[in-house]
Structure formats: C-alpha cells, structure tokens
Structure 1
Amino acid sequence: MKSLTTTFFILFSIFCAAQQTYKQTLKLMGSRFDITVVAVDSIEANKNINLAINEISRIERLISSWDKNSQTSEINRNAGINPIKVDKELFNLIERALGISKLTDGAFDISYASMDRIWKFDGSMEAMPTKQEVNASVSKVGFKNIILDKTNSTVFLKNKGMKIGFGAIGKGYAADKAKDLLISAGVTSGIINASGDMNTWGKQPSGEEWKVAITNPINKSKVFALLPITNGAVVTSGDYEKYVKFDNTRYSHIIDPRTGYPASGIISVTVFAPKAELADALATSIFVMGIDSGLDRINQLPKIECIIIDTEGNIIKSKHIKIDRS
C-alpha cells in the first residue's frame, strides 16, 4: 500500500568513552530492519538486539495475513460467518486502527486488504481502469463493517470477502513494541528503523540528539532538512518509485480505500509523532486526504508534525515544525 523512503540518514557518533553504538541489519516482516543500540560492549549489544528481533518476530506472527495460522488470517477466513476471539493485544491494535480511520474520514482503513488489485505499477498498465472496475474493486472495503466486541475480545468482518491487513501500520507498531521492550530491559538509547519507520529514544553516546536528514525526492543529491529527534518516531511515505501517469496526471501507488483511485498531487509525506504506529498510519492518510485536508488534520493534533513534498517539488510543513537548513 505504500512505498517507504530510503532518504533518511542517521547521523551519530561511532565512539564515545564508555559506550558505543552497535547496529544490526536484517530482514523481518518482509522488510529491512536496522536495529541500533547504545551499549558498553558487543555482548550486551547483541543480547539486546536479539530481544528486539524476537519481539518483532512475535508481532509478525500475531498480525501477518500471509501466515495461515495467525489470528489475523482466522479473522479473514471467517468474514461474514463468525466473530473470532483474539488476543487483547491484537484487539487493541485493531481498535486503534479504527480510531485512526474515524480521525481521517476513512483515508486510513485496514480493510483495504479487501481491495481488488486492478492498478498495476510495474509499467504494464496501458489505460486507466473503467469506473465500473474501480467501484467494484472497493466494494468490500469499509472500516465501519469491522465489528468489535470489547467484552468478549472478538473481531467480526461483517461482509463475506472482507479482509484486514496491517501493511500501513504493522511495521510501525513492531518498532514501537521493540523500543518499549528495550527500554524496559535498561537500554538507554537506540533506534529501530523499520524500512524508514524510525523510532528513537535517548541520545547519541556523545550526548547529542539523534538526527535525521531528509532529502527532496526530486533532487536526491541535496538534503533540505536536518531535524533532531528525541524519544519519538518519524515515518516517510513516498510514491516517487511506484506510480502511473495518464493524461499528464501522476497517480500514486497509494490507493484511496474509499474511492479505489490512486492519490495524486503528493510525492512524499514525512510525519513526526510520539509513536511509529501513529506516524505510519498518518503518513499514508495524508497522501490520500491531500495537502490541504491533511495539513488541517495534522495541525489539530498535539505533538504531531509533518513535511509534505508535492509533485512540483514544493515543500509544505505543518505549523510548528522547525527546519534547520544550515
């Protein structure tokens, strides 16, 4: 549902008197994860990194719609048939996802997984789908048809053929959970980077804040913003690698789950938030909502900021974000 930018560069000191940064890169949840921790030696670092790996793998087993044994797959198999009792953790994640759907007027919707894949972004499309095909593609999508029973911890998809998926929120949630676990284990500083869904805490061994450099996708050779990030998350969603163009209009691979049509007008959205889960969901939502509606919604939310780059390369930011261009 979305392409994650690789234009983040983590700037940190490699050595400090007592502590150093240790980093491991591996594939989890079908994506690249970079796990960085500050520790006194490699033994301590590897132990903590393994804690994070195990936690991310646990989350994947819980939420994966590709794993036939997951509770998410069980929910999807029983669409239109029976409610499914799930772990409280999964129930709460779905409940929060529905809250974001309401907040964004349906621009974010985990039932997007029900959508027919009629848009192709591999260069094979020669014409736009018909209006009838587009309407049919989203006929089973609709977060209001996800029925939650808090007392019994059950999830029911009201219509047959409905599916839920966590592609636009799962990696952010996993990054949050890994961060929380490492903090509880006494890790004072680190970064969980889930293919661009970055979650940080603490500071560099030098005492400086972690920083992210953000580039304009139209001109990747130049950094336009250098931003400190302390105990928070930053997520970028971009369409500059996956899109189609018809009648001089550029259509993103990010599809509006309400209409079945791709988002247009934006090529990159970066969201700063306390949690990667929320930043992940909002980055996708702004693409769908558009610049004006997206900014209006972000400006009403506490502790949330965003940077938007439109198809002309213009940079638009939310009210309170400060950009260091030096």
Structure 2
Amino acid sequence: MKTLAVLFCSLFCMLSQGQLVQQDVTVKKTLKLMGTRFEITVVAPNEEIGYIDIDQAVSEIERIEKMISSWDEASETTKIIKNAGIKPVKVSPELFRLIERAIKISEITDGAFDITYASMDNIWKFDGSMDQMPSEEDIQKSIEKIGYKKIVLDPDEQTVFLTEPGMRIGFGAIGKGYAADKAKELLTSKQVKGGIINASGDLTTWGTKATGEQWLVGIANPLSKDKVFSWLPVVESSVATSGNYEKYITLNGKKYSHIIDPRTGYPTTGINSVSVFAKQAELCDALATAVFIMGRDTGIHMINQIDGVEVVVVDSENKIHRSSGIIFDTNQ
C-alpha cells in the first residue's frame, strides 16, 4: 500500500507540475470523394476522436456533392440542367448563393471562369487520340451555348434559369474548393484544433500541427513533381493549384493544356501551373482556373487588384512569376 501511495503521489505531483500532459495527435485519412482524391487531416486528443471528426467532414463533403453533382439524377443541379430553356427551377439558398458567387467571379475575370463551360461540346481529346486541330467551325460551334450572362437568377423566388435549351452548368472549377471550405467550417464549429482539407490540390487549413508548427505548402516544379521551388506557410488560409502536368496534347510542336478557354473554345498555352492563395478555398479554386486561362500577365495583374489574394505562376519555360504580396527564395 505504501508503494501504491508513493506512486499515486508521484503521478499527482507530475500532473500538478505539467509534466504529464496529454499530447494531441495528427490523424489523416485519404479517400475518393466528388470523383477525386481527398486527404483529410485533423489534430485531435486521440486517434478515435480524430477519425470521428474525419467522418463528419466526409459526410459534409458528400452532402455538397449531392447538391452540385450533374451525374446525380436527384440533385438540384441536374434539375436546373433538365429545365434549360424551359423554366426556372427553385433551389436551396445554399446553391443559389454558390451560383451567385460564381457569376460574380465570371464578371471579375471577364468570363475566363464560367460555370456554363459544361455546355461545351467535347471536341478536344486528351487521351492521345488527337493528331490534328479541330476546324474553326467545330470550335465555334462547341461554345455556342456557353455564357454566364445566360444564367438568370431571381433572388425573390430563389430560382435559377438557363435561357437556352441544351445549356449546362458544372462546378468542376469551384466545387472542390467549396466542399473543402464547408468541411473546415463544420470541424472548426466543433472545436477541432487544427487540420487540412486537401481536395486534390485545393486545400484549406486552420490551426497548427500537433507540434505547434505552421502548415506548409510546397510550390512544385511542374517538370519534376519531386522537386519543390519553395515552401510557403498557409496560416488559417487556403491554396488551389491548376496545372497541365499530365493532361495536355502537343500539336504541330505546340503544347495545349486540357484547360480550355470557355470564351474561345481553344486550350490554354504558355502556363504550366497556377497556385492561388486566399482565405477561401472556393475563391482559390475558381481564380486558379481563371488565371490559367487569362494568361500570366493579365492574370497576375488581376490578382494584384484583389485584396487578400496572391498567386504564383510557373510559365511554359518553368520560370516563376508572382503577385506583389508573395515573397520567397526561388533558389530553395
């Protein structure tokens, strides 16, 4: 009994002196959501709680997917598409606001970002089967139904109307970022100390690592994925990267990205990757695509006009360009 009492006293003394404090752990899970790779990392008191937190984030992402999916016959987005040119469709306030924000980004980017890109006929192939350019006539025909100004919103009735039959909307360039934001919002509301929601390169962070260190994101070298130009801290913030590392074609000696300008119907050239930094992953996601389409100089100039947003562009010659607020050593 004496030994037990001494042991109890020792433990009590250690606790009172802060020597026996439970350490937080980092819990990570990788899974396929929204047709892409999600990696969810949380800082939690223990693994069990960490996996519960991750499951809640997954449920939130799946909820978003059901709302914006054009493959789900029951989704609100599918109902909008089915009624294109026929009648307005009443939608949830959440989807209405998302489409409203998407249109504002279209206005800011002069249509470089446009959710009606989904109306485009798929005449470009990036599976190795293309050996010549499509005709000018085919290209112009492919974008006839595109145009964010053809989306009519009624704030009073909360309806969305696509004015032309055959029009489509798609959230491929904003949906993953929005889902990451919503998952983060849910977890922070439940007092999860820190974490990262990484939606295939569109990521948002909060808090710090279990060690107290900052989360870091690497600006990758597009010609060699194992090499990083520089590491940048991402504090309570988000980043999204668009790149042409894997999906592109070369015709007549010229490299064309799989990212197509919805205004012209032509694939983009001159840029290998774009990384945008901002508070919201949704905004990063949309602007990364827009800058890729707008081009290096026009894109960086636009970003420099937006408070709280920065960009790093790697051009087709693998040279780094950045907005005014980005400072790092490119010799790393």
With the shorter chain as reference, the TM-score category is over 0.9
Structure 1 residue 160 and structure 2 residue 165: aligned?
yes
The residue aligned with 2:105 is: 100
| Counterpart residue identity of residue 139, structure 1 | E
Q: 1: distance between equivalents of 2:31 and 2:227?
A: 28
The aligned length equals 311
Partner of 2:117: 112
Over residues 115-150 of structure 1, what are the superposed CA-to-partner deviations in whole Å (9 max), with x where a residue is unaligned?
000000111001100000000000000000000000
Any idea what the Cα deviations from partners look like across 1:15-63, whole Å, max 9, x if unmatched? x951010001111111111110000111211111111010000000000
- Structure 1: gaps of 5 or more residues: 1-15
Paired position in structure 2 for 1:11: none
Per the alignment, residue 239 of structure 2 pairs with 234
What amino acid is the match of 2:305? Q
Per the alignment, in what secondary structure is the counterpart of residue 44 of structure 1? helix
The equivalent position to 1:40 in structure 2, one of 45, 50, 53, is 45
Pick from 258, 271, 274: which aligns with 1:269? 274
Distance 2:281 2:119 in 1: 24
Which position in structure 2 is the counterpart of 1:62? Answer: 67
Structure 1 counterpart of 2:76: 71
2:128 aligned partner: 123
**Does the CA contact (< 8 Å) of 2:122 and 2:142 recur in 1?**
yes
How high is the sequence identity, in percent, across the aligned residues?
57
The letter of the residue matching 2:101 is R
Equivalent residue runs for 1:191-230 within 5 Å: 191-230=196-235
How far off its partner does 1:199 sit?
Answer: 0.5
- Alignment partner of 1:192: what SS? strand
Q: Secondary structure at the match of 2:37?
A: strand
Counterpart amino acid of 1:277? E
Matched, 1:322 2:316: no
Counterparts of residues 126-165 of structure 1 (less than 5 Å)? 126-165=131-170
Q: TM-score, normalised by structure 2?
A: 0.92
1:46 maps to amino acid: Y
2:214 counterpart of 1:189: no
Post-superposition Cα deviations, 1:75-97, rounded to whole Å, max 9, x if no partner, equal 00000000000000000000000
The question of whether the paired residues in 1 share the 8 Å contact of 2:96 and 2:160 is answered with yes
Separation in structure 2 between the aligned mates of residue 316 and residue 215 of structure 1, nearest angstrom? 13
- Within 5 A, what are the aligned runs for 1:269-308? 269-308=274-313
Structure 1: 4+ residue segments shifted above 2 A: 219-222
User: Greater CA radius of gyration, 1 or 2?
Assistant: 2
Is the contact between residue 204 and residue 239 of structure 2 (CA under 8 Å) also seen in structure 1?
Answer: yes
- Give the counterpart of 1:171 among 167, 176, 184: 176
SS in 1 for 2:32: strand
Matched residue of 2:324: which SS? Answer: coil
Q: Which moved more, 1:311-320 or 1:132-141?
A: 311-320
Q: CA deviation at 1:205?
A: 1.6
* Residues 230-250 of structure 1 deviation map (CA, whole Å, 9 limit, x = unaligned): 111111100121111222221
Amino acid at match of 2:178: Y
Contact (CA 8 Å) 2:22, 2:45: kept in 1 or not? Answer: no
- Report which stretch shifted further, 121-130 or 241-250: 241-250
- Amino acid of the structure 1 residue aligned with 2:152: I
Identify the structure with bigger relative contact order (alpha carbons < 8 Å, sequence gap 6+).
1
Which stretch of structure 1 is more off in the superposition, 55-64 or 244-253? 244-253
> How far, CA to CA, are the matches of 1:200 and 1:265 in structure 2?
30
Q: C-alpha deviations, 1:164-217, integer Å up to 9, x for none?
A: 010111010000000000000110100000111111000112211101122211
Q: Counterpart of 2:91 in structure 1: which amino acid?
A: V
State whether structure 2 residue 26 is matched by structure 1 residue 21: yes
For 2:192 and 2:92, how far apart are their aligned partners in 1? 28
Letter in structure 1 aligned against 2:50: A
Gaps of at least 5 residues in structure 2 are 1-20
CA distance in 1: counterparts of 2:218 and 2:256, whole angstroms? 27
TM-score by structure 1 length? Answer: 0.94
Residue 255 of structure 1 corresponds to 260
Measured in 2, the distance between the counterparts of 1:45 and 1:304 equals: 31
Q: Distance in 2 between matches of 1:292 and 1:321?
A: 15
Letter of the structure 1 residue corresponding to residue 70 of structure 2: S
Q: Which amino acid aligns with 2:130?
A: M
